[in-house]
Structure 1
Amino acid sequence: MASFIELGVRPETIEALAPIGITAPFAIQEMVLPLALSGNDLIGQAKTGTGKTLGFGIPIIDRVLSKSEGATGKAQALVVVPTRELCVQVAEDLLVAGRIRDIRVLALYGGRAFEPQLDALNKGIDVVVGTPGRLLDLARQGHLKLNEVRILVLDEADEMLDLGFLPDIEAILRLIPEARQTMLFSATMPGEIITLARKFMDQPTHIRVAEEGGSTVEGVEQFAYRAHAMDKIEMLARILQAEGRGATVVFCRTKRTAAKVSDELTERGFASGAVHGDLGQGAREQALRAFRNGKVDILVATDVAARGIDVEGVTHVINYQCPDDEKVYLHRIGRTGRAGAGGIAITFVDWDELARWNMINTALKLDMADPKETYSSSEWLFTDLNIAPEITGVLPRSQRAKAGLAAEEIEDIDLKSKRPPKAADGRGSDRKSAPKKPEHAKVSAPSAPAPRKDRERKRTRSSAGE
Structure 2
Amino acid sequence: MEKRPFSELGLSPEILKAVDKMGFEEASPIQTAVIPFGMAGRDVVGQSATGSGKTAAFAIPAIEKVDVSLKKVQVLVLCPTRELAVQVAEEFGKLALFKKGLMEVPIYGGQSYDRQFRALAAGAQVVIGTPGRVMDHMERGTLRLDALKVIVLDEADRMLDMGFRDDIEHVLKSVPEQRQCLFFSATMPHAIQELIKRYTRDPEWIRIESLAQNAPQVEQIYFEVDRRSKIEVLTRLIDLHDFRFGIIFCSTKIMVDELDEHLHARGYSTDRLHGDITQAQRTRVMDKFRRRGFEFLVATDVAARGLDVDDLEVVFNFDLPNDAEDYTHRIGRTGRAGKKGMAFTFVSGREIYKLQGMINYARLKIRRERVPSLDEVEEAKGNVFYEKLRATLEEKKFKSHDQMVDRLLEQGHTSTDIASALIHLMQGDVEEPAKKTAKVRAEHIAANESPAPSAPAPRPAPVRRDPPPAATPAPVAAAPEGPASAAVRPVEAARPPSGDKFAAQKRTYERKPRTGREPGYSVVSFNIGRQHLVTPADLVGKIAGVTRLPANVVGAIDINEDHTLVDVVSEHAELVVTKLAGIRIKNQSLKLAVVPPPAG
TM-score by structure 1 length?
A: 0.50
| Alpha-carbon distance in 2 for matches of 1:61, 1:40 | 15
Contact 2:4 2:28 in 1 (8 A): no
Q: Do the aligned partners of residues 54 and 142 (structure 1) sit closer, same or farther apart at CA in structure 2, a change above 3 Å counting?
A: same
- In the superposition, relative to structure 1, how do residues 114 and 9 fare at CA in structure 2: closer, same or farther (>3 Å)? same
Matched, 1:78 2:76: yes
1:196 deviation in Å? 1.0
Deviation at 1:60, TM superposition (A): 0.6
Pairwise CA distance, 1:24? 1.8
Cα deviation for residue 23 of structure 1 reads 2.4
CA change 1:220–1:130 in 2 (3 A) is farther
**C-alpha RMSD over aligned residues:** 4.4
Shift of the alpha carbon at 1:50? 1.4
- 1:398 positional shift: 7.9
- Which residue identity does 1:345 align to in structure 2? I
Richer in helix (by share): 2
- Where 2:76 maps in the other structure, the secondary structure is strand
Question: 1:263-307, CA deviations, whole angstroms, 9 ceiling, x for partnerless residues?
Answer: xxxxxxxxxxxxxxxxxxxxxxxxxxxxxxxxxx9xxxxxxxxxx
Aligned residue for 1:21? 23
SS of the equivalent of 1:44 reads strand
CA distance in 1, matches of 2:75, 2:98: 18
Corresponding residue to 2:14 among 12, 15, 20: 12
Provide the rounded CA distance (Å) in 1 between the counterparts of 2:364 and 2:62.
Answer: 31
CA distance in 1, matches of 2:206, 2:357: 20
Name the CA shift for 1:388/1:104 in 2 (closer, same or farther; >3 Å).
Answer: same
Alpha carbons of structure 1 residues 199 and 389: separation in structure 2 relative to 1, 3 Å: farther
Q: Displacement of 1:190 after TM fit?
A: 1.4
Quick one: structure 1 residues 48 and 315, their matched pair in 2 at CA, closer, same or farther if it must change by over 3 Å? Answer: farther
Structure 2 contact 50–357 (Cα < 8 Å) conserved: yes
How far apart in 1 are the matches of 2:110 and 2:78? 16
Amino acid of the structure 2 residue aligned with 1:98 = A
**Cα 1:81/1:398, change in 2 over 3 Å:** same
Confirm or deny that 1:400 pairs with 2:440: no
Give the aligned partner of residue 404 of structure 2. none
Separation in 2 of the partners of 1:97 and 1:90?
11
Residue 35 of structure 2: which of 33, 36, 41 is its match?
A: 33
Q: In structure 2, what is the equivalent of residue 357 of structure 1?
A: none
Could you tell me how far apart the structure 2 residues matched to 1:316 and 1:165 are?
Answer: 35
For 1:50, the equivalent position in structure 2 comes to 52
Higher relative contact order (CA 8 A, sep 6+): 1
Distance 1:18-1:157 versus aligned 2 partners, 3 A rule = same
Counterpart contact for 1:79–1:152, Cα < 8 Å: yes
Shift of 1:47: 2.5
Which of 58, 63, 66 aligns to 1:64? It is 66
Q: Percent identity?
A: 34
**Is the partner of 2:128 in helix, strand or coil?**
strand
- Taking the aligned partners of 1:120 and 1:156, their CA distance within structure 2 comes to 25
Q: Which residue of 2 aligns with 1:135?
A: 134
Residues 136-176 of structure 1, C-alpha deviations (whole Å, 9 max, x = no match) = 11111000011111100000111111211111111111111
* 1:220–1:344 contact (8 Å) kept in structure 2: no
Matching residue of 1:124: 123
Q: What's the CA shift string for 1:173-218, capped at 9, x where partnerless?
A: 1111121100011111111111111111111111011345x4x768
* SS of alignment partner, residue 145 of structure 2: coil
State the 1:106 CA deviation: 0.8
Match for residue 345 of structure 1 among 366, 369, 389? 366
Shift of 1:41: 0.5
Q: Distance in 2 between matches of 1:209 and 1:220?
A: 26
C-alpha separation in 2, matches of 1:178 and 1:208: 26
Asked whether the equivalents of residues 78 and 130 of structure 2 are also in contact (C-alpha less than 8 Å), the reply is yes
Say if 1:101 and 1:219 are closer, same or farther in 2 by CA, change over 3 A.
farther
Query: Deviations for 1:318-356, whole angstroms, at most 9, x for unmatched residues?
Result: 9xxxxxxxxxxx998544598x9x9751499xxxxxxxx
Call closer, same or farther: CA 1:221–1:174 in 2, change over 3 Å.
farther
Aligned residues: 273
TM-score, normalised via structure 2 length: 0.40
The gaps in structure 1 that reach 5 residues or longer are 225-238, 247-296, 298-309, 319-329, 349-386, 409-466
Partners of 2:78 and 2:124 in 1: how far apart? 16
The one-letter code sitting in structure 2 at the alignment partner of 1:111 is G
SS in 2 for 1:9: coil
Tell me, in whole angstroms, the C-alpha distance in 2 between the residues paired with 1:220 and 1:109.
42
Assess if the C-alpha contact under 8 Å between 1:139 and 1:145 holds in 2: yes
- Equivalence map 1:417-432=2 (5 Å): none
Distance in 2, matches of 1:219 and 1:86, equals 30
Give the match for residue 178 of structure 1.
177
Q: 1:113–1:25: structure 2 CA closer, same or farther, 3 Å change rule? A: same
Q: Aligned residue for 1:147? A: 146
